[in-house]
Amino acid sequence: MQTLRARLGPLAATAASIPITLFGLALVTFFIGRVVPIDPVLAVVGDRAPAEVVARARIELGLDQPLYAQFWRYLGDILSGNLGRSVMTANPVWQDIARFFPATFELATAAILVAAVLGIALGVLAATRQGTLLDQAVRIFCLAGHSLPVFVLGLLSLLVFYAWLGWLPGPGRQGIVFQDMVDTRTGLLTVDALLAGDWPAFWDALAHLAQPAGVLAFFSLAYIARMTRAFMLAELRSEYVITARAKGLSAMRIVWRHAFRNTLVPLVTVLFLTYAGLLEGAVLTETIFAWPGLGQYLTVSLLNADMNAVLGATLVVGLIYVALNLLADLLYRLMDPRTK
């Protein structure tokens, strides 16, 4: 118990800094909404509304008040769960986010699972065979993953696997035949189809998920493999590995039971931050594949000058990033007994 308290002590300080971080996030999103050259009043009433209607709407929205008063009102609305109403959908923003976020969550989760499994395996193999042809191939693969833009990779994927080969379906999250065929329970189409026992709908949802998840996984896989390789090389050069080899332990046991186990601590941080990046950075991928997630919602809202939706989605993405960062810090302290 005493050891656990010692490990969680610094975490309490990290948790105490969260309100300050969230306050700063709210401050940044507020001023973004005021700096962009978009008048939220005109977005609501239209640019052809009479002057008296515009003036009345400005008073109702509180935009006639000083900036500090507007910010405190904005902060109070956030704390009460009110993110405003979307001009584009006429729904409360939090309802739109709750509707669109499961698609992004499903896409990012599938991508990070594929990227973590393949990236870790490739990184370990490259480290244990440093300087060989396999190591060079993995390094070139990682370089390609960092160099190719996501939108180029997405368009190439559609061109090859959809247009030329016809192996996978086109853009969208589900085929027309299967739309509204499965009851929505979790918002994750693959999970909902499994819960309903509808296997044709499951395979259709999985086929539509394959391309966008594969594009995101390739980009993340390259980073995870490169970091895993670097962590493993550092461990394989350490003294305890040399001692284990001198004792006659098998190479498999040295790599997985000793070296890889010690890379888990920094690797957890890499995985969580990569996952957070997928949740917030899937905008281009969702746009290319017409994936109805939070990224596409954010893009369409920005193009339609729907600032309530843009700021609400930005705030949610920031909250997710902070939460995952805190969770990674917690796991880091629990897994590494040296952090007190």
Query: Which pair of structure tokens corresponds to residue 97?
Result: 């986010």
Of 178 and 212, the one with more pLDDT: 212
Say which range, 53-62, 168-177, 211-220, has the weakest mean pLDDT: 53-62
In a domain, 302, yes or no: yes
In 3-state terms, what secondary structure has residue 216?
Answer: helix
Mean of the pLDDT values across residues 82-91? 79
Quick: pLDDT tens for 30-55: 777 777 666 666 666 666 777 777 77
Total domains in the chain come to 1
In 3-state terms, what secondary structure has residue 290?
Answer: coil
In a domain, 54, yes or no: no
Angle between helix axes 93-128 and 199-236 (nearest 10 degrees) is 50
In a domain, 209, yes or no: yes
Check pLDDT > 60 for residue 148: yes
What is the model's pLDDT at position 116? 92
Mean of the pLDDT values across residues 289-309? 82
Say which range, 51-65, 97-111, 158-172, 286-300, has the weakest mean pLDDT: 51-65
In a domain, 282, yes or no: yes
Mean of the pLDDT values across residues 2-31? 67
Of 335 and 195, the one with more pLDDT: 195
In a domain, 127, yes or no: yes
Domain assignment of residue 170, given as a range? 2-24+94-335
Of 339 and 22, the one with more pLDDT: 22
Quick: pLDDT tens for 212-237: 999 889 888 889 999 999 888 888 88
SS (H, E, C) 94-155: HHHHHHHHHHHHHHHHHHHHHHHHHHHHHHHHHHHCCCCHHHHHHHHHHHHHHHCCHHHHHH
Q: How confident is the model at residue 254 (pLDDT cuts 50, 70, 90)?
A: confident
Whole-model pTM: value is 0.83
Q: Give the torsion sign (CA, 80, 44, 313, 103).
A: positive
Check pLDDT > 90 for residue 113: yes
**CATH code where residue 241 lies:** 1.10.3720.10
Instruction: Say how far apart CA 333 and CA 340 lie, in whole Å.
Output: 7
In a domain, 269, yes or no: yes
What is the model's pLDDT at position 263? 82
What is the model's pLDDT at position 44? 67
Of 328, 239, 325, 306, the C-alpha closest to 90 is 306
What is the model's pLDDT at position 3? 53
What is the model's pLDDT at position 339? 57
CA 180: distance to chain centroid?
A: 26
In a domain, 226, yes or no: yes
Q: How confident is the model at residue 172 (pLDDT cuts 50, 70, 90)?
A: confident
In a domain, 48, yes or no: no
What is the model's pLDDT at position 1? 47
